[in-house]
Structures are given as structure tokens and as C-alpha cells.
Amino acid sequence: MNTELNFLECGLFLLKGARLLDPSAGVDSCEDLLVENGIIARRGVDLEVEGAEVLDLQGLTVVPGFVDLRARFGEPGREDRETIESGLDAAAAGGYTAVCLTPECTPTCDNAAMVEFLLAKSRDHAVTLLPLGAVTAGLKGERLADLGELARAGVAGYCEGNTGLHGAAALRGALSYSRMFGLPLFEFPREAGFGEGQVHEGLVSLRMGLKGRPRLEEDLGVQRGIRVAEFEEARLHLQLLSTAESVELLRQARERGVAVTADCSPQHLALSDTACLDFNPSTKLLPPLRPEEDRQALAKAAADGVLDAICSDHRPAMFDDLDREFPYTPFGCASLETAFAVAHKALVESGICQLDRLLELFSAGPRRILGMPPASLEVGAPAELSLLDLDCPWTYRGEEAQTLGVNSPWEGQSFAVRPAGMVNGNYLALRG
Amino acid sequence: MSGMEAEAPVGLKHKHLLGLEDYSAQEIHLILDTAESFLDVLERPIKKVPTLRGITVVNLFFENSTRTRISFEMAEKRLSADTVNFSASSSSTQKGETLRDTAANIEAMKIDAVVMRHSAPGSCLFLSRCLDSVIINAGDGAHEHPTQALLDLLTLRRRLGSLEGKRVTLVGDILHSRVAMSNIYGLQKVGAKVQVCGPAPLVPRHIQDLGVEVFWNVEEAIENSDVLNVLRIQLERHNAHHFPSLREYHEEFGVTADRLDRHASDELLVMHPGPINRGVEIASDVADSGRSVILEQVTNGVAVRMAVLYLLLGGKTREH
Amino acid sequence: MGFRRKAQLMDEAGLSRTITRLAHEIVEKNKGLESLALVGMQTRGVFLARRLRDRLAEIEGVSPPLGSLDVTFYRDDWRMKLKQPDVQATDLDFDIHDLNLVLVDDVLFTGRTVRAALDALMDLGRPARIQLAVLVDRGHRELPIRPDFVGKNLPTSMGEEVRVKLQEHDGEEGVWLVEKVEDEA
């Protein structure tokens, strides 16, 4: 298996032989695509263009580009876990054209200088980095960060990382203030005070002897988020839902017209809490993996449109982070490169939804939340494309992956589909 | 080497003792039967046998537990093993040297087995993945404490004969207990019925999924029990959400002579893993009464640990 | 691999005669049964010791104390085996201090089991003397151990073994020489 990812920067390239697929626009054809100065210039059968870099994409499917709403890298502060470059490489390998980066770096991304640093560091990469600004200074949950300054510096939204905003008053204040800048607020919903549980509170936490996190912790956070958004009549995005009750709350809120959106991770769509029983630190997630009935409710909500997006929640960790007692290992897993394959297995291969819906969850859904127009395969549109191999049995091996993170719950597991790369403006990444 | 047929086809299927969750009833009985033989040895004028001569066992204790450590040390010495004690605080493995490094350093000194006590659940499993040595869990947080459960089983088996159908109630803080899970697994495997009784915030809700009956009223629990295993209340683990005060705990859940006189059958036995808080979870007149088997538990603890060491360090010699 | 019976060394009557002779030798050598006790080694040594005790009672009219000994914890070979040996009871309900002990086993081979038994007995007290009685001595000693009373001396090859069967334990009676045979594939 050739796993090498090749990058190309070129003002004129011709993608030949691929299937073009954009179900939302009714596109499903075998045509060539000419990208000129970052724009889709021509589409047609057997195109011949003088001077264009020709790429043979036989067997691949070109779809509207994926955008990730939640990833954490290590730079600056923990470059051993992930640098901006390695993280964006991983995103390219996962088929993403843009990635939202949580502000959890050291120092925190809560000021214009940090935003500028992140944008400068990522400027020459194929994948667009979308920094998220911290809601409170230093993510300390005390006073608001300078949200206006962050907006002018170019953040894509606001996010309080893994802590979330504690208390309805704090959330209301943040939502009320941030809406002035027209940027989305990403909330990780949970009620404070339940302590540092390691896994879902239930039979699994009991058997493992670990402190658990009850569903209640999340359900109360979701309820609070919905009520605050409803009261403020403002848009709020809830991240990483994991319980049946929280998707039910969301469903009801949407039915009465509350402007809340939500996402979940592929991990929570595919795994249940029993995956933790072996004390594998890569299964220690936040929110924790939940019992099977929650996983099924979540998959159903993703399929039927209650959830808007699937985010990778990429949180790479290195060997030394994991090589310790389970309670001392960090939460999260490296997931950018497996997100699509895992979600495809959990939703499409299991018959819960069609490929169209999965593509929406990876592209149109997240773009809508960020206030971006949908990516398109039409002539004249900016080239933001994901390249997929929909018939590619492969096995995830951390050592062959782009990410520096070694904490994948999928090590050694096999999948049926795989992103082959992406196109973003003048940039292209392609495996093999 | 008399000309007898092959030796008995029994033995433990595990390399380590990490917990009782995946030990079979047959293996548990083998350990208890072997422990009975060691109890005989402990009655002899010379309480030592040469069985583990040349074997080195390290007692790696990241939490203070003088009793468990002494019990293991005694077991090791009575089997003629060489023993080394290593104590450290768990927090040092969070900041300074990692558990793997600590253990690897000790293993590099050519040892055969590690007995570990650690506050982190799963840490013995982790250690077994790092080292070649035999690992014996001497308590990993609220996960398992298999030798404590085994010594409880031995004590009850010697007192009651079969445990089939006997109702054993764990009383107290089930949530933070390091012995609850091992006791539940062990007792259920030998056919006993396990019940728990304690303040609701200290009884995990999902324990019923394991087939364990829950009581919130200690007198009702006493009426329906053949054995009470009274767990230690560790004040440092509790906050105001669990129960208001030790005084109220004693009022609501304390095992007192008065309560036993009124509600217990004459044969009811009282156990306690120690160290006991007299006047909190158990009254002095109960701890010192004829119902109490607390000191037998201590004696049986040495024999059970001898049996575990003997059975796990048997089989193949360590390849040097 | 299995074993095939090659020759019968003793039948029921032969076994009984041998026990009687051993009993007489024990009485003769010890000049009576004063301070004498029998210790049978698990498993068949225990049954043989019991038969010897009964025979001695018939001859002398006194029944010497009888105990059983399990030497598993004292063996030097248990760690080389893949399976742990089954630990059986050591049951000596008398003080062995200053007694003349007769250790009883069925077959004497390398001497290692007897060595373990001697260590075990020393840990139980300080007997005045220990003598060894065996039904069959098949040779191949690895330690300087010599029996005091022998039912039958039988030089064997390493491919052969001696099997003692006792009614109380095995449901049949007799002593056989067996040899190893490779299993048919």
C-alpha cells in the first residue's frame, strides 16, 4: 500500500478520469475538471489543455470539500504532539480542505498575535487553517477574551475548548457579545461540578473501578445551551453530542425553531463504552464513549438531519502521554485521517444513511455553521474538493499516518473507503 | 519421583493475578485449596517452606497499605522467596519517573514477580504490558483487590463449608471500595448471593446489572444476610454530597450489637477488611464478638497470598 | 506417549507377603515398636503405611502412630514442570520429636522426593531417627539415599517405569513394570 501523500502547487491543473459527485446539486458524472488559478475553469469529457499539469484520478470520486469543525494540534506549546504542518498534512490525508483549530495551544489563542501566528504558519499549506478564538482569556472561564480583536484578526468562530462555558450566565454573556461579530460560538456542553470522570458512568466505569461521567453532565449542558440560545434568539453551535437524551433535546428545540446546530465525532458514531474495558487510552474520550443505545440514537440523529456535522475532534497525543496509568493519560484521539472512513462504516456501510447524507455532514453542514457557502463542482466556483477512493480496503497504521499522534483507537483496523487527497485553490494533495 | 502416573492436571490458566473478573470458579477453588495446605504450614513450629527459594518478589507500593504489604511480605518469606520493598507515592509517577521506568528499572535487577498497590485503576494491567514478570494486584484503586476477596472467600469457606446460596452483604462505601468488585466476582463465582448496603450516593446505580441486590436500610440488610462484610469508611474520600457526617453515618449504617441482636440470625458472621474505625462503620462490641472473623481473615490472608505466589510462580522457570 | 504393561512384578498375594516381610524387618531392626511411628508419603505411600501399621498391630499387638506427608512445597523439580502439582494433605497429628520415624513410599527412584520428605520432616520437629521403607527400589539414584527396608529391588532402564496399584486408591492390586510407547499417529 502506497501511503505517501504528494503535494502540488500549480496555477493550472487538469483532473482526469474521476467521477464527479455532488448529490445536493444533482451532479454525478465522469468528467474531467480544469482548475485555473484556484477556480474551476472547465468541466467536460476528455478535456485537453495545453500546459496544464495532468493528474490521473481514475477510480476516484471528487466531492465538495470537507471542513472540520474541531481539531487540536500542539503548536505552539506541544509540538511533540502535532505541529501545524503535521496536523494539516493529516487533514489533507483525511480529505479536508479546511480545519478549525481549537484555541487550546500554549499560549492560548485568545489574542490577535496568536491568530496571526497560526495564519502565518499555515499560509503555504494546501489545507486552510481556520483558527478558533478562545471565549474567555486564557480559557480560564473568568473574563471574556477580546472577541472583537479576534474577529478582526481572522478567527472563524469562538470556542472554549474542552472546558466549555460553565453556567448559563457565562454562556449568555458570551453568546450575546460574540453575536455582534457575526461569528459562530462553539459550545462544548456540560454541567460543571461532576468531577473528573474517566469514562461513561455505568456498568463500564463500575467494572473498571474508574470515576464515571454521567449522561446528566452532558444533558444539562445541552439543555442550558438550547435555553440560552432560545432566550437570546441567537445562533449557538453545540459540539460533540453523545447521549440519546441530548439529541432528543436538540430535536425538540429544532422543531420549535431554536437556532441551535450540533455535531458529533466519528468515534462516538462507531464505538460504545465497552471499547474502554481494555484500558486502552485511545478510547478515553471527552465526552466519554457511551453505551450502545446512545450510539444508535446518535447515528440516527446524524442520518436524519438532527445533527448538522461530523467533526473529527482530532486530539493527538504522543507515546509518552499514553505510556502511563489510565487516569493520567490525556483525553482524546488522533482522528483526522480516519474520520471519513469510520463515519462511512458506521453510517453508510451499516445501512443507516446514504452517501449523500454523509457528504453533507462532512461538507455542507460544517460550512453552513461557519457561514460559508457550500462548496460546488460547478464552473466558476472556488476549487475546494475532496478526493475519495470509495473502493479501497485499507488498514490504519499509525506509523504510516501523517499525524504525529499515536493515540488512535483504530490501530490495525480495516476500512472500506479512504480519502485519497484534496484540492484547495492552487493546491492539491494526492496519495500514491 | 516415585513411579506414579502424571501429576494432577490442574493449574492456573493465567500468568498474572490482575483481578478475579476473568478467573474461573475452578481456579478460585484451586487457590483456596492450596491456601488450606499453607494454613497447615502456618500451624507448624517452623512456619517456612523452601518452595520459592531463588525467586525474587518485589513489593511495589505506591500507596500506603502497611497491612497488605506486611501480609504479602510474610507470605513471600514463608515461601523462602527473596523480597524487596519499594514504596513511592503515586504522584511521583505523574511528575517524575513513569511507572514503566520505575518497574523496568526494578525488573532489570532480575526479579520474578511484582506485587503492586497503586491508586490508579488498571495500573496492574498496564504493568503486565510493560514487564515480563508475574504481576500480582495488591489493589489498583477501586478496580480490583483480588487477594483480599480470596482471603474473604477462604475465611467464609472454612466457617460455612459451601458458599452456595449464602447471602453476603457488603456494607458501606461501595463506590470507592477497592474490595467490592473483587468480592462480587469471587462470591458470585462460588455460588454466593451478593448484596450491598450503604448510603445511596456511595452505591453505584449500575451494580444491580451485576445481579447484586441493593439495600438502603442496614437493618433490613442484616435480616437478610448470612454474612456482613463491613467496609471501611474513608473520610478523606468523601464530600458533603455522599453523607453529612460520620455521626450520621454511624446512626444510619453502623453495625452495632444492638442491631445484630434485634435483626441478625444467630449464625451471622461479621467481616471487615481492616483497618477498622471503631464506632463508625462497626461498633467495638461487634468487632470483638464471637460473630467477628476479622482476625481469621488476617491469618487467612497470609495463606491465600502464599497460595497465589506458589501457583503463579510455578510452572515454567523464568528464562534468564 | 503412553505406557504399556510389560511384566507383572507382584500380584495381590505377593504384595501382601511383601508387606508382611517388611513389617517383620521393621520390628526386628527396631527391637519392637517403642517410640516408632509411620509416615506415608502422598499418595500411595499413605496406603502402604496404613497396611504396614495394621500388619505391625497384628504381629506386636500395638498400633504405632501413623501420619501422611505431602512434600510438594519441598520439591526441587516443581518449577520445571508445566503444571503445578496438586498439593495434598500433610497430616501428622503427633509430635515427631525424638520418635523413630519410618518413612514409607511405593517406588524409590532418583531419591529427590525422599530428600524433600527429609527436609519437610525436619521442619516439623527433630525425630530421633528416620528410616526409609519402599515397596520397590528401581535404581537410578541421583542423591546419596539408601532405603532401610525394600520390598523388591528391580533394576530398570530409563524407558521403563514401575506402577504400583492399590485397591484403596486404584481399584486394582499389583505391581507392574511398564514401558513408554510412542502413540500411533
Of C48, C53, C68, nearest to C166 by C-alpha is C48
Does the beta carbon of A293 lie under 8 angstroms from any beta carbon of chain B?
no
Spatial distance between the Cα atoms of B62 and B93, rounded to a whole number of angstroms: 9
Contacts of B78 in chain C (CB under 8 A): none
Tell me the CB-side half-sphere exposure of residue B186, using CA atoms within 13 A.
Answer: 29
Task: Report how many Cβ contacts below 8 Å link chain A to chain B.
Answer: 64
Going through chain C in order, the beta strands assigned E by DSSP cover: 2-10, 36-41, 66-69, 100-108, 129-137, 149-153, 160-165, 174-181
Condensed to tens digits (0 to 9), the pLDDT of residues A144-179 reads: 999 999 999 999 999 998 887 878 999 999 999 999
What share of chain A in percent tops pLDDT 90? Answer: 96
Q: Which chains touch C (3 or more CB pairs under 8 A)?
A: B
Beta pairing, strands B213-215 & B113-118: unpaired
B2 pLDDT band, cuts 50/70/90, is very low
Contact: chain A with chain C (3+ CB pairs below 8 Å): no
Q: Is C144 exposed, middle or buried (0-12, 13-18, 19+ CB in 10 A)?
A: exposed
Task: Point out the residues of chain A with pLDDT beneath 70.
Answer: 1-3
Q: Which residues of B touch A209 (CB under 8 A)?
A: 121-122, 140-144, 178, 181
Residue to mutate among C6, C42, C77, C83, with most B CBs inside 10 A, is C83
d(CA A13, CA A16): 10
Contact (CB, 8 A) for C8 and C41: no
> CB contact, 8 Å: A326 with chain B?
yes
Superfamily of domain covering A63-370: Metal-dependent hydrolases (3.20.20.140)
Distance between CA atoms of residues B186 and B30, nearest Å: 13
User: Is the pLDDT confidence value at B316 over 50?
Assistant: no
User: What mean pLDDT is predicted for residues B288-294?
Assistant: 95
Lowest-pLDDT choice from A120-129, A373-382, B39-48, C113-122: B39-48
Pairwise CB contact (< 8 Å): C74 & B9: no
What does the alpha-carbon distance between residue C102 and residue C123 come to, in Å, rounded to a whole number?
16
Q: Give the pLDDT confidence score for residue B238 in this predicted structure.
A: 66
Relative to beta strand C160-165, strand C174-181 is antiparallel
C66-100 burial by CB neighbour count: b if 16+ within 10 A, else e? bbbbbbbbbbeebbebeebbbbbebebeeebeebb
The alpha-carbon gap from A297 to the nearest alpha carbon of chain B, in Å, equals: 21
Share of chain B above pLDDT 70, in %: 91
CB neighbours of residue B280 within 10 Å: 18
Q: From the list B5, B7, B45, which residue is nearest C125 (CB)?
A: B45
pLDDT of B40: 87
What confidence score (pLDDT) does residue B3 get? 35
3-state secondary structure of A326: helix
Residues A327, B281, B300: CA angle, nearest 5 degrees: 75
Whether the CB of C90 is below 8 Å from some CB of chain B: the reply is yes
Cα separation of B137 and B146, whole Å?
7
Q: How far is A127 from chain B (nearest CA, A)?
A: 36
Specify the DSSP class assigned to residue C156.
-
* CATH for A5-62+379-431, options being 3.40.50.1000, 2.60.40.10, 2.30.40.10, 3.30.450.40: 2.30.40.10
Please tell me the distance from the alpha carbon of residue C50 to that of residue C54, in angstroms, as a whole number.
Answer: 6
Cβ count within 10 A of residue B316? 11
Using a 10 angstrom Cβ sphere, with 0-12 exposed, 13-18 middle and 19 or more buried, the burial of residue B319 is: exposed
Length of chain B: 320
Q: Which residues of B touch A (CB under 8 A)?
A: 21, 90, 93-94, 98-100, 118, 120-123, 125-126, 140-144, 178, 181, 204, 206-207, 209-210
Q: What's the sign of the alpha-carbon dihedral B12, B13, B18, B21?
A: negative
Scan residues 369-428 of A and list those with Cβ closer than 8 Å to B.
none
Of C56, C167, C168, C157, the residue nearest C109 (C-alpha): C157
Which residues in chain B have their CB less than 8 angstroms from residue C109's CB? 1-3
Phi then psi for C37, rounded to 5 degrees? -140, 150
CB contact under 8 A, C163 and B3: yes
pLDDT of residue C184: 54
CA distance A187 to C32: 96
pLDDT for A152:
97
Q: Which domains does chain C have, with CATH numbers?
A: 11-79+87-159 (3.40.50.2020)
Is there contact between B and C if contact means ≥3 C-beta pairs under 8 Å?
yes
C44 touches B: beta carbon within 8 Å: yes
Strand pairing partners for B247?
A: none
Question: Computed from CA positions of residues B238, B243, B245, B249, in that sequence, does the dihedral angle turn out positive or negative?
Answer: negative
Spell out the domain ranges in chain A.
5-62+379-431, 63-370
Residues of C in contact with B3 (CB under 8 A): 106-107, 109, 136, 138, 161-164
User: In the structure, what pLDDT confidence band is assigned to residue B237 with cuts at 50, 70 and 90?
Assistant: low
Report the pLDDT value the prediction gives residue C79, as an integer from 0 to 100: 57
pLDDT score of C86: 66
Catalytic hit among A313, A323, A356, A391: A313
CA atoms within 13 A on the CB side of A385: 34
Averaged pLDDT for residues B206-229 = 96
- Examine the residue annotation and report whether A313 is marked as an active-site residue of this protein: yes
- What's the start-to-end Cα distance of chain A, in Å? 9
pLDDT at B319: 36
- Residue C82, pLDDT above cutoff 90: no
The reported pLDDT for the residue numbered B240 is 62
Q: What residues of B are in contact with residue A205 (Cβ under 8 Å)?
A: 204, 206
A chain contacts of residue B144, beta-carbon cutoff 8 Å:
209
Instruction: With cut-offs at 50, 70 and 90, classify the pLDDT of residue B103.
Output: confident
Chain C residue numbers touching B316 (CB-CB < 8 A): 79-80, 82
Q: What does the pLDDT look like over C20-63, one tens digit per residue?
A: 999 999 999 999 899 999 999 988 999 999 999 999 999 999 99
Q: What is the DSSP letter of B209?
A: G
pLDDT at C92 over 90: no
Beta strands A394-395 and A414-415: pairing type? antiparallel
C-alpha B287 chain-centroid distance:
19
In contact, A315 and A330? CB cutoff 8 Å: yes
Residue of A nearest to B18 (CA): A208
